[in-house]
Amino acid sequence: MIIIKYKKLFIGLSIALVIGAGFLMQSYGIKRGIDFTGGSVIDITYEKETPTLDAKTFEDAGMTLYKTGDNTYRFVSTKTYEEVGPVITTLGNVNSATPFVFTQVSTVGPTLGSEMTKKAIIAIIVVVLAILAFIAFSFREVSLPVQSWKYGIIAMVTLLHDIIVPTGVYVILSHKYGAEVDTLFVIALLTIIGISISDKIVVFDRIRENLKNSGKKNSFDEIVGMSLMQTFTRSINTSVTVILALLALYFFGPSTTKWFTVTLIVGMFVGTYSSIFVASPLLTVWNNSKK
């Protein structure tokens, strides 16, 4: 199959994407939301007339301003609501006789924010290690020509790829559009891991079945290529279906899930690519390296 024939090209592209994402994270960093730093998120809604608020004025007061709808604004600050609420009330009424109401107020303390950061990192590490153990156990009957634990290692490596690349894209969104890492971002990464590993297990399972049935007739590279051909359409159809649903959520869903949806869409593209063009070809590379 062409994927196995040009595996170095596809694997090289993935390596370049990971390096690029790492460079972006090192250069720009990621803007953490109040879920991890502590602070307040305040939404206001004007009843009728909607004034144009001056972002610079609120920035000087220690708040970041986002326009989230025709008559709604969002304020993000590292301060508590008690500190910034009166300021919003005063400045929000400037140049407007129309009153507004506070529709949502969320405040997170710095201690809870630090605890959330630790829990998010632990959750991702535990999930990846559990997946590694599960795959190694499930493929324990397959030891030739590639040992079962190597399937788990390759799955873990490609999962890191599936996390790092969307995170690199999120750095761009953070730098250009003010997207912030919050709890939804962590949920998006965990969702990407779940969907991506499911796709990889389907391909690996087909390789296992073909090894049992054709292991003596065909080379390992031929069996991997055959397995990819048999699962290619299924992988693409699954991804397209999920992406269409996510696009509907992006265009018609609430603004609060906008970056969450974008992260999932990018993750679906990256996860599908790694399942087809990276994970299985890496098996052949590892197998050939022994020779």
204 in the same domain as 173: yes
Which of 51, 83, 108 is where one domain is finished? 108
pLDDT for 41 equals 84
Contact 96, 51 (CB under 8 A): yes
Contact 36, 116 (CB under 8 A): yes
Which positions ≥6 away from 205 have C-beta within 8 Å?
none
242 in the same domain as 155: yes
pLDDT for 17 equals 94
CATH code, domain carrying 27: 1.20.1640.10
Cα(5)–Cα(30) distance, rounded to whole angstroms?
38
Question: Is a pLDDT exceeding 70 seen at residue 291?
Answer: no
Question: 217: domain range?
Answer: 2-34+111-290
Question: Is a pLDDT exceeding 60 seen at residue 143?
Answer: no
Which of 62, 93, 108 is where one domain is finished? 108
Tokens standing for 253? 């869903």
pLDDT for 111 equals 62
Question: Is a pLDDT exceeding 70 seen at residue 71?
Answer: yes
Polymer length of the chain: 291
Which of 81, 108, 135 is where one domain is finished? 108
76 in the same domain as 47: yes
250 in the same domain as 180: yes
Q: What are phi and psi of 198, to 5 degrees?
A: -60, -45
Question: Is a pLDDT exceeding 90 seen at residue 167?
Answer: yes
pLDDT for 113 equals 61
Tokens standing for 31? 């803007």
> Could you give the percent of the chain with pLDDT greater than 90?
20
Report the candidate in 242, 248, 279 with the shortest Cα–Cα distance to residue 264: 242
Cα(272)–Cα(258) distance, rounded to whole angstroms?
21
If pLDDT is split at 50, 70 and 90, which confidence band does 241 have?
very high
Tokens standing for 175? 């730098």
Contact 127, 190 (CB under 8 A): yes
Cα(263)–Cα(165) distance, rounded to whole angstroms?
10
Looking at the 3D structure of the chain, how many domains does it have?
Answer: 2
Which positions ≥6 away from 172 have C-beta within 8 Å?
24
Cα(82)–Cα(41) distance, rounded to whole angstroms?
12
Cα(171)–Cα(163) distance, rounded to whole angstroms?
13
pLDDT for 201 equals 85
Cα(273)–Cα(263) distance, rounded to whole angstroms?
15
pLDDT tens digits for range 147-156? 777 888 888 8
* DSSP letter (8 states) at residue 126: H
261 in the same domain as 129: yes
Tokens standing for 281? 């070809």
146 in the same domain as 11: yes
Mean pLDDT of the chain: 83
115 in the same domain as 85: no
149 in the same domain as 59: no
Cα(105)–Cα(71) distance, rounded to whole angstroms?
17
203 in the same domain as 235: yes
Task: Flag the least confident range among 58-72, 92-106, 220-234, 275-289.
Answer: 92-106
pLDDT for 77 equals 85
193 in the same domain as 50: no
What is the arithmetic mean of pLDDT over 162-179? 88
CATH code, domain carrying 85: 3.30.70.3400
What is the arithmetic mean of pLDDT over 80-93? 79
pLDDT tens digits for range 108-128? 766 656 677 777 788 878 877
pLDDT for 290 equals 63
If pLDDT is split at 50, 70 and 90, which confidence band does 169 have?
very high
pLDDT for 272 equals 92
pTM: 0.79
pLDDT for 50 equals 73
136 in the same domain as 99: no
115 in the same domain as 104: no
- Cα separations (Å) of 175 from 112, 168, 169? 25, 11, 10
